[in-house]
């Protein structure tokens, strides 16, 4: 029983990271109906930027905030430069651009920081187990960071006029323009936010999985699974789905499939959701059959 | 009175299909102008053209400025409120959020007061304030759309078929309120309608649009009283 | 721009006609013969190492052709065809090393197994819009190396170590070294598969596939069983890529989990776009691109091929969405006006 509880808590800790990235994916999906396959690589790049700042001697939290800001700008720029001209392009062209972006960012990180695995610091030093031995300091700390971030995002979207405008632009771009919302910029801000969220997810997962250019591939997979599980049209669902996937991954890894097949578990979740409840647990059925 | 909006030889097309073949009309400051016409005459397209939602040729002068070719957001920010075809409700958002979006571009202190005035026009919106707008009835959504557009504090209000798809009693209510709005708000109105009788009662000037061309223009009261005109063009 | 539209329109209108004689062939027969003869002649003209590269090129061409059948002609975006490539490669290697199956006999088995797995993966996702398949296949591609390392099947797959196999000798005492023979063998297999694909696509089924891609609702109204045709198309597509994987395993003489990362799938996708979406000959240009670019680029940096692929992919999306094949087709129509 102790073991199960431990697995669940530690699953929630990593689940928070999946939840963040799932939220980033869903934010872009809601506004554009496209899945950003480069979301993981962009987060990896952000983490490398943080790594460079920390190794240059900056304090962790200064680096953290600077990285979030830089990533936000990066997301905005990518939307303005790469995505904007593609507004009315067919899906295949968009997927092509996402994959191109993935390749470029992946190559860039490998080129600049080489492909060797690096350790990434955690700001939560305590190696002594907390909560009666259930969680490590980093697990607890990263969960807190994730929850604070999710809360901030929730407050932003619920209680600020800019957040409202961003939601409006995603739901109904035509009506949004008619009340004076600059829809194009809302999309760019969405990309910026998604990149910033991804950056936090990257910095929180890096101490666990170590830093290398392909670090986020697996995390992105769990985020896909989480987003689908919760409903890809529903941000809250995606967050819950992300946490759920973290727990399923940990329990499954510990008791069912073993750690070697953890990624396959994500694939199984994706396929199972599509077979059983394609709109996700909290989603509306809006998909077309064709 | 000077014209607030002056449209000269306006043409518009969707892809290859021309919808407007060069129409000209004016909306005078402080007055209600109506564009009448059957389905497919180009009424909605005219409103969309003013807001930069379709590709156009010709001139659109508004408050001494050429606004054709400007982005919709920029047209709206020049204080042109648009109650669109189909009402444009943000279904997933609450009534409150819909109304807040109406005032999105404003930073003045009058917004609170304006909310109260909207509740005075449309008490229903106050009752439904926290509800999801998608759950409102058609008439309530129309009220919400008008309130949303007025919350911009527009100088020019574009109304696209406010009676569309509504029960006669509700249509009467809405036109009564529009009459009040004409009296109380400092706004010029361009209303597009199929229900000519109601629109002519509200308007001072009227234009009749037929397949993308203006065939009749004149004083609303005159048109209303001219039985031959009414019978042959407006069908009532 | 207008040239492109005319070229596309010509092709679209001809593909609806039923009489084959009036149909302008995408590549003139004479060109095909010359290219094939040239390809065969290369066997005796270039070094063994270059022959090996050409064999890989032929393999990739088949793999991209497979991807093209699903993505190009049927509009189902797959980002995981590397998985079927891996299935084919491992099928060939396991059969050769564990069961002493002759190399040529592994190909049909690899084809069947890949088709079945393609069917199983495609089935749940194909009921929905394109992105769901892209997502599922992407997930599959990411999971592949881990699946191949799985301890439970280590006896067959060789785990992390992989499987070493050896290149077949030329049969019937032909005076060819193994590289020459394998190249010719691959060329023959590829020739058959290209011919079959060409036949499939210009026929009734091909028209139905494209109808689904261009207008699914109308296609359904015409009585096409969407789900059935889409899953079958996806299975055929996986089959092609599986055979290609088997050919490549025999050529490389080695399979290991880390040769089949998600990047194999991504490179196939890049090859598809660069060569030309919905173009049979495009598969060859795409394959040439993904075989030769890394050779040149890796002299700069290990990371350079990825960066170049990425930049070129995006550039093609903006500037030349019809790929190299589309460009050549336009040039051809411009130079030979009567071909319109």
Per-10-residue mean pLDDT, chain B, length 236: 86 86 91 88 91 91 90 93 92 94 91 92 93 91 94 93 90 91 90 88 90 88 82 70
Q: In whole angstroms, what is the distance from residue A239 CA to residue A153 CA?
A: 12
Q: Looking at the partner chain, which of A164, A168, A177 has a beta carbon nearest the beta carbon of B76?
A: A177
Which domains, from first to last, does chain C contain?
A: 52-170+178-339 (1.10.3470)
Judged by a CB distance cut-off of 8 A, whether residue A181 touches chain B is yes
Grouping H, G, I as helix, E, B as strand and the rest as coil, residue A20 is helix
Listing DSSP states for C40-107 in one string gives HHHTTTS-HHHHHHHHHHHHHHHHHHHHHHHHTTT----S-HHHHHHHHHHHHHHHHHHS---HHHHH
Domain span at residue A164 reads 2-118+132-213
The whole-angstrom distance between C215's CA and the closest CA on chain A is 9
Do C241 and C111 contact (CB within 8 A), yes or no? Answer: no
Please give the backbone phi and psi of residue B37, each rounded to the nearest 5 degrees, phi first: 160, 165
Rg of chain A over Cα atoms, rounded to whole angstroms, equals: 19
Query: What's the pLDDT tens digit per position in A198-226?
Result: 999 999 999 988 899 989 988 999 999 99
Report which of C116, C128, C132, C123 is spatially closest to residue C84, judged by C-alpha positions: C116
What CATH number does residue B201 fall under?
A: 3.40.50.300
Query: What's the pLDDT tens digit per position in B74-104?
Result: 999 999 999 998 899 999 999 999 999 999 9
- Total domain count, chain A: 1
DSSP H/E element including B219 = strand B213-219
Res C27: pLDDT: 62
Res C6: pLDDT: 32
What's the gap between Cα B149 and its chain centre? 9
Per-residue tokens: C105: 């006999």
Per-10-residue mean pLDDT, chain C, length 340: 33 33 55 80 79 90 92 88 93 88 88 92 75 88 85 77 79 79 88 87 82 81 80 91 93 86 90 86 88 77 81 85 78 66
A29 domain residue, yes or no: yes
Res C18: pLDDT: 32
Q: Looking at the partner chain, which of A97, A271, A290 has a beta carbon nearest the beta carbon of C314?
A: A97
Res B10: pLDDT: 92
Do A52 and A267 contact (CB within 8 A), yes or no? Answer: no
Listing DSSP states for C232-267 in one string gives HHHHHHHHHHHHHHHHHHHHHTEE-GGGSSHHHHHH
Res A75: pLDDT: 95
Task: Give the count of beta carbons closer than 10 Å to the beta carbon of residue C4.
Answer: 16
Most A CBs within 10 Å: which of B95, B100, B104, B148, as the mutation test of the A interface? B104
The chains found to touch B (3+ Cβ pairs under 8 angstroms) are A
Q: Looking at the partner chain, which of A85, A111, A214 has a beta carbon nearest the beta carbon of C303?
A: A111
A226 domain residue, yes or no: no
- Total domain count, chain B: 1
Angle between helices A262-276 and C103-125 in degrees, nearest 10:
50
Answer yes or no: do A101 and C310 touch at CB < 8 A: yes
Burial label for C261, CB within 10 Å (0-12, 13-18, 19+), is: middle
Per-residue tokens: B218: 């004149």
Per-10-residue mean pLDDT, chain A, length 290: 81 92 92 90 96 93 96 95 85 89 92 88 71 75 91 92 94 93 94 95 92 90 92 88 92 78 86 82 50
Answer yes or no: do A267 and C132 touch at CB < 8 A: no
Domain span at residue B199 reads 3-234
Q: In whole angstroms, what is the distance from residue A264 CA to residue A258 CA?
A: 11
Angle between helices A91-113 and C304-319 in degrees, nearest 10:
150
Burial label for C307, CB within 10 Å (0-12, 13-18, 19+), is: buried
Res C339: pLDDT: 52
Listing DSSP states for A66-101 in one string gives HHHHHHHHHHHHHIIIIIGGGTT--HHHHHHHHHHH
Give me the interface pTM, i.e. the ipTM: 0.92
Judged by a CB distance cut-off of 8 A, whether residue A168 touches chain B is yes
Q: In whole angstroms, what is the distance from residue C274 CA to residue C317 CA?
A: 9
Answer yes or no: do C306 and A106 touch at CB < 8 A: yes
Answer yes or no: do A177 and B104 touch at CB < 8 A: no
Most A CBs within 10 Å: which of C139, C157, C308, as the mutation test of the A interface? C139
Res C19: pLDDT: 34
A113 domain residue, yes or no: yes
Q: Which residues of A touch B76 (CB under 8 A)?
A: 177-180
Answer yes or no: do A171 and B92 touch at CB < 8 A: yes
Q: Looking at the partner chain, which of B73, B91, B100 has a beta carbon nearest the beta carbon of A177?
A: B73
- Could you identify the residue written with the tokens 């409700």? B89
Per-residue tokens: C162: 């992989």
List the 240-269 stretch of C: residues with Cβ below 8 A of A: 261-262, 266, 269
């Amino acid at each position: 029983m102790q073991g199960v509880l431990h697995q669940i808590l530690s699953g929630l800790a990593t689940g928070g990271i999946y939840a963040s990235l799932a939220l980033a994916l869903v934010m872009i999906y809601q506004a554009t109906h496209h899945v950003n396959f480069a979301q993981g690589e962009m987060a990896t790049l952000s983490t490398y930027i943080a790594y460079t700042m920390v190794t240059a001697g900056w304090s962790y939290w200064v680096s953290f905030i600077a990285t979030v800001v830089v990533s936000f700008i990066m997301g905005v720029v990518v939307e303005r430069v790469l995505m904007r001209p593609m507004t009315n392009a067919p899906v295949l062209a968009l997927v092509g651009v996402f994959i191109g972006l993935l390749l470029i960012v992946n190559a860039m990180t490998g080129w600049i920081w080489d492909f060797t695995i690096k350790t990434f610091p955690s700001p939560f030093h305590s190696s002594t187990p907390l909560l009666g031995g259930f969680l490590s300091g980093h697990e607890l700390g990263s969960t807190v960071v994730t929850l604070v971030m999710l809360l901030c995002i929730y407050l932003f979207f619920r209680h600020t006029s800019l957040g409202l405008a961003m939601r409006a632009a995603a739901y109904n771009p035509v009506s949004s323009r008619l009340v004076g919302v600059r829809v194009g910029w809302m999309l760019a801000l969405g990309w910026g936010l998604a990149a910033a969220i991804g950056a936090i997810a990257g910095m929180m997962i890096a101490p666990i999985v170590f830093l290398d250019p392909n670090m986020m591939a697996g995390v992105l997979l769990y985020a896909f699974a989480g987003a689908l599980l919760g409903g890809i049209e529903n941000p809250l669902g995606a967050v819950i789905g992300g946490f759920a996937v973290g727990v399923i991954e940990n329990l499954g890894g510990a008791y069912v499939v073993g750690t070697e097949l953890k990624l396959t578990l994500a694939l199984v979740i994706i396929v199972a959701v599509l077979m059983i409840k394609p709109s996700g647990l909290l989603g509306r059925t809006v998909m077309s059959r064709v | 009175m000077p014209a607030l909006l002056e449209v000269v030889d306006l043409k518009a097309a969707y892809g290859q299909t021309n919808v407007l073949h060069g129409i000209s009309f004016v909306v005078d400051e402080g007055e209600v102008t109506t564009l009448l016409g059957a389905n497919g005459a180009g009424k909605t397209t005219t409103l969309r053209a003013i807001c930069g939602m379709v590709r156009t040729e010709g001139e659109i002068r508004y408050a001494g400025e050429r606004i054709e070719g400007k982005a919709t957001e920029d047209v709206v920010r020049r204080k042109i409120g648009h109650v669109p075809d189909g009402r444009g409700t943000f279904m997933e958002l609450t009534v409150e959020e819909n109304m807040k979006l109406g005032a999105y571009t404003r930073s003045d202190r009058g917004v609170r007061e304006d909310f109260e005035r909207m509740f005075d026009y449309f008490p229903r919106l106050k009752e439904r304030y926290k509800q999801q707008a998608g759950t409102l009835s058609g008439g309530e959504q129309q009220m919400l759309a008008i309130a949303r557009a007025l919350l911009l504090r527009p100088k020019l209000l574009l109304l696209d078929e406010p009676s569309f798809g509504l029960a006669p009693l509700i249509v009467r209510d809405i036109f009564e309120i529009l009459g009040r709005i004409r009296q109380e708000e400092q706004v010029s109105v361009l209303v597009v309608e199929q229900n000519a009788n109601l629109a002519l009662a509200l308007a001072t000037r009227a234009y009749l649009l037929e397949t993308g061309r203006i065939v009749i223009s004149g004083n609303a009261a005159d048109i209303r009283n001219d039985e031959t005109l009414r019978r042959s063009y407006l069908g009532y | 721009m207008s040239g492109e539209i005319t070229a596309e329109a010509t092709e679209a209108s001809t593909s609806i006609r039923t009489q084959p004689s009036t149909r302008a062939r995408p590549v003139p027969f004479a060109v095909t013969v010359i290219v094939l003869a040239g390809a065969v002649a290369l066997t005796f003209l270039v070094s063994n190492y270059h022959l090996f590269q050409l064999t890989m090129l032929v393999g990739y061409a088949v793999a991209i052709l497979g991807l093209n059948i699903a993505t190009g002609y049927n509009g189902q975006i797959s980002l995981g065809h590397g998985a079927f490539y891996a299935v084919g490669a491992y099928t060939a290697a396991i059969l050769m090393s564990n069961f002493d199956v002759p190399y040529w006999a592994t190909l049909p088995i690899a084809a069947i197994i890949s088709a079945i797995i393609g069917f199983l993966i495609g089935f749940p996702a194909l009921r929905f819009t394109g992105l769901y398949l892209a997502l599922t296949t992407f997930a599959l591609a990411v999971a592949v190396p881990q699946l191949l390392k799985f301890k439970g099947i280590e006896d067959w797959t060789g785990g992390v170590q992989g499987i070493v196999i050896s290149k077949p000798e030329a049969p019937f005492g032909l005076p060819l070294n193994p590289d020459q023979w394998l190249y010719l063998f691959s060329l023959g297999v590829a020739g058959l598969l290209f011919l079959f694909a060409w036949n499939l696509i210009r026929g009734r089924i091909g028209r139905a596939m494209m109808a689904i891609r261009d207008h699914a609702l109308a296609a359904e109204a015409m009585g096409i069983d969407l789900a059935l045709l889409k899953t079958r198309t996806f299975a055929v597509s996986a089959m092609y890529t599986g055979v290609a994987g088997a050919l490549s395993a025999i050529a490389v003489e080695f399979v290991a989990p880390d040769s089949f990362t998600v990047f194999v799938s991504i490179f196939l996708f890049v090859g598809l776009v660069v060569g030309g979406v919905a173009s049979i000959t495009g598969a060859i240009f795409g394959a040439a691109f993904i075989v030769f670019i890394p050779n040149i680029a890796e002299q700069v940096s290990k990371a350079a091929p990825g960066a170049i692929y990425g930049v070129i992919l995006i550039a093609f999306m903006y500037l030349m969405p019809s790929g190299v094949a589309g460009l050549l087709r336009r040039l051809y129509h411009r130079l030979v006006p009567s071909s319109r």
